[in-house]
Chains A and B, each alone.
Chain A
Amino acid sequence: MDALFTQMFLGALFFGAITAAVPLLLAGLGEQMSEKAGVLNIGIEGMMIAGAYFGFLTAYQAESIWLGFIGGAAAGLAVALVMALLCVRLGLNQIVIGIGLTLGLEGLTALLHHIQFSRTYPRLPAPQILEIPLLADIPVIGPALFKHHPMVYLSVALVFVMIFLYRRTQFGLNLQAAGDKPAALDVAGVDVATTRTVAVLATGALAGIGGAYLANVGAGLFVPFITNGAGFLGIVLAMLARGRPMWVLFGALLFGVSLALTTALQVAGINIPTDVIQMIPFLAVIVMLVVFGRRSSLPAALGIPYQRGER
């Protein structure tokens, strides 16, 4: 009896951890790309909430979770387009525009949701699950790790795509140069603005998919302000990861476990305020920073718009 309970508890914990980690992973990977290219994308929270709302709306109207992801990506992309136009092309302050977009989209999605659904919160049908053959049969961890929506496996695969992109491709090098020494990239004949624009747009699409996952798969419904700081967590993850996609994955899992621990403990009947558990990952990271305290190696030109001909 006891063993069975522990098994169920652990199973629920790991399953929940992965569900909670995926949006953070997608946001973190996206933000990492922007930061590599030298754009501090504070608007990512806005891109996520736009993805969550339009992703949900598409999935709800079209009755397809996959179309929902496309809708979410399109919405994130649209917000990123505004960000790229204003912050990369025109060189406006990235913090002002980023916070502006976040506030505006949080308000706009809440407003649209209110008009469309008033105070009802329609649910989507449960998402289809892809079981990985054989692996899913492992006791405890099998169902927890290998019985998820296909998007989970895709986003983990994306980590390796990113590693390949940064390490092995010309475009990856261009991104790095756009963040570290844009003038050098410009001299090499590559357009800095285009490189950065591509990075910001990719961030938007990834954040939009992350938001859509949060609403469609994670919650099954949209409520205003559903992202609740997930985008900001993505910024934290990207900065802590220092340019390494694998670290974003580990970081996202760490935060995912603590988010899942809250619900898992409540299921187990242990009554610890959720706020206490939510503090754990931040405490862990801060203790790590204090103990190891190494210089965070951020791109040299992070947050600085590039204007050709300026010093």
Chain B
Amino acid sequence: MSTDALQASDNPEPRPRAELLSALGHRILLTVGPILVSLIIAGLILVFVGVDPIKYYAYVLDRGLFSPSGIQQTLTRMAPMLFLAAGLIVAFRAGIWNLGVDGQFLLGAVTAAASAPLLVAVVPAWLAAVIAFVIAACVAMAWSLVPALLKAYHGVNEIITTLMMTFLGISLANVLVKLAFLDPNTTVPQTRTLPVEDRLPRLFDTTISSGLLLGLVAIIAVHILMTRTAFGLKLRTVGANPHAAIHAGLNVPRLTVAVFALSAGLAGLAGAVDIIGVQGNVRADWNPGYGLLVIPMVFLARFNGFAAIGFVLLLSVLSIGGESAARRLGVPNHFTLVLIATVLIVLAIVEYVDSRFLKKTRA
């Protein structure tokens, strides 16, 4: 320890940089390694199923990452996931297990889909989009109010309440689509469709929705909020030790409600960005279930916004590539779930091995 400090002071420039590089290399190795291992494990399942794994992976990578249309779809798909990850990071860092993002997402999506086509008739498209975003965020926030108040003032465990509200929210979203916001001009139960030209603009000459930029801004803003501001410190204090936070003079119930509002609001925006940016309408029984996929990614990123961007990209590549492979190679899309789960579990095990054995030998 002391010799380290001495060396560092003797030679301040190269040493830290080398250390930083080796630490970064270590991190990258610890991320890429497990992914390769998972690909091998999942590949064995493919062999069992009778599909050439190398051909399959090559196809997934090509369609999800390297082909122009694939990468554009992948980047577009990232937008709602980034918003969800941002919302989850706020909650998890504050020690609040908001497992109800799927319900908040769907209600945000449905209200955005219901309001945007009506709004474009009266106001310019950009203003309609802004208002729809605000409505979606407010509805999702309102949806989180019951769990928030129960947690803040009665100490009712938020895992139960948010899970229940998400079941309730999925049903309510369906009821709204089928009964209230039904498009009278189609026979399929779905909301009115937002015309393509009124959706979020595409970036440059690509098909990438500008929602991607909004998502990146959201997650980076959340990262800065949580790590660099006094408000973020307060939230992290509540998360680390609520009793200590009370003694530090923080208004824990009010902060709890604020966390729920922020987290659910971002989940609602995720729904809005998917609708206003890509889908244009909500069909009955539509539920992409992004929340359940993003929650573990946020854990693996250790609630770090920048790392979460990387994991969301990975998730997006796998899901877009997997969907194409399902159509072309006849491997059902369910395999993507298996692959993602394998990556998750192997990454978690490697994290453990690293913190338990490798760090010890270095120290």
A interface residues (Cβ-Cβ under 8 A, vs B):
40, 86, 90-93, 95-97, 99-108, 110-111, 114-115, 224, 229, 232-233, 235-236, 239-240, 273, 275-276, 278-279, 282-283, 285-286, 289-290, 293-296, 298
Contact = CB atoms under 8 A, between A and B. Distances in A.
Interface string B152-190: 011111011101110110011011001100000000000
Contacts of B295: 95, 99
A93 B153 CA distance: 28
A103 B341 contact: yes
A290 B156 CA distance: 10
B163 A236 contact: yes
12 contacts: A96-B296, A96-B348, A103-B293, A104-B342, A104-B345, A110-B337, A111-B45, A111-B332, A279-B172, A286-B168, A289-B156, A293-B156
A3 to B, nearest CB: 33
Contacts, number: 140
Interface of B: 45, 49-50, 97, 146, 150, 153-157, 159-161, 163-165, 167-168, 171-172, 174-175, 178-179, 292-293, 295-296, 299-300, 332, 334-342, 344-345, 348-349, 351-352
A100 B341 contact: yes
B336 A86 contact: no
A237 to B, nearest CB: 9
A250 to B, nearest CB: 16
A283 B150 CA distance: 14
A151 to B, nearest CB: 26
A249 B49 CA distance: 41
Contacts of A86: 345, 348-349
Given A107-B338, A114-B332, A115-B49, A283 B168 contact: yes
Given A95-B295, A99-B295, A293 B154 contact: yes
A95 B156 contact: no
Contact of B164 (A93, A104, A286): A286
A121 to B, nearest CB: 15
Contacts of A240: 160
Candidate in A96, A114, A224, A295 with the most chain B CB atoms within 10 angstroms: A96
A236 B163 CA distance: 7
B219 to A, nearest CB: 19
Contact of A239 (B155, B157, B168): B157
Given A96-B348, A103-B340, 5 more contacts: A107-B336, A236-B163, A239-B157, A273-B174, A282-B165
Given A104-B338, A282-B167, A293 B150 contact: yes
Contacts of B300: 96
Contacts of B156: 289, 293, 295-296
Contacts of A232: 163, 167
Candidate in B156, B179, B342, B349 with the most chain A CB atoms within 10 angstroms: B156
Contacts of B167: 229, 232-233, 278, 282
B344 to A, nearest CB: 4
A107 B334 CA distance: 4
Nearest to B292: A99
A275 B175 contact: yes
A128 B352 CA distance: 48
A111 B299 contact: no
A285 B164 contact: yes
Contacts of A92: 348-349, 351-352
B159 A107 contact: no
A297 to B, nearest CB: 10
Given A236-B160, A273-B178, A278-B171, A107 B341 contact: yes
Contacts of A289: 150, 154, 156, 161
Contacts of A95: 97, 295-296, 299
A43 to B, nearest CB: 10
A304 to B, nearest CB: 13
A106 B292 CA distance: 12
Contacts of B155: 295-296
B296 A100 contact: yes
Contacts of A233: 167
A229 B341 CA distance: 18
A115 B49 CA distance: 7
